[in-house]
Amino acid sequence: MKRILIIGANGGIGTFVSKQLTQESGFEPVAMLRKEDQQPKFSGMGVESIVADLSQSVDALAEIMTDFDGVVFTAGSGGSTGYDKTLEIDLDGAVKVMEAAEKSDSKRFIMVSVAGADDRESWNSSPIKPYMIAKHYADRVLKNTELEYTIIRPGSLTDDEGSGKITSDLSKASNRSIPREDVATAVTLSIVNNLAIRKSVEMVSGDTLIEEVLSQA
Amino acid occupying residue 60? A
The closest alpha carbon to 172, from 135, 202, 137, belongs to 202
The closest alpha carbon to 168, from 131, 216, 136, belongs to 216
Among the options 83, 131, 137, 149, which is catalytic? 131
Q: 50: how many CB neighbours lie within 10 A of its CB?
A: 13
Rounded CA gap, 24 and 215, in Å?
Answer: 19
Residue 149 is a catalytic residue = no
Rounded CA gap, 72 and 215, in Å?
Answer: 19
DSSP for 153-164, written as a single string: EE-EEE-SPP-S
Rounded CA gap, 147 and 49, in Å?
Answer: 24
The closest alpha carbon to 98, from 118, 123, 75, 119, belongs to 75
Paired with 112 in beta bridges are: 152
In residues, how long is the chain? 217
Q: Is 185 exposed, middle or buried (0-12, 13-18, 19+ CB in 10 A)?
A: buried
Q: Which residues are catalytic?
A: 131
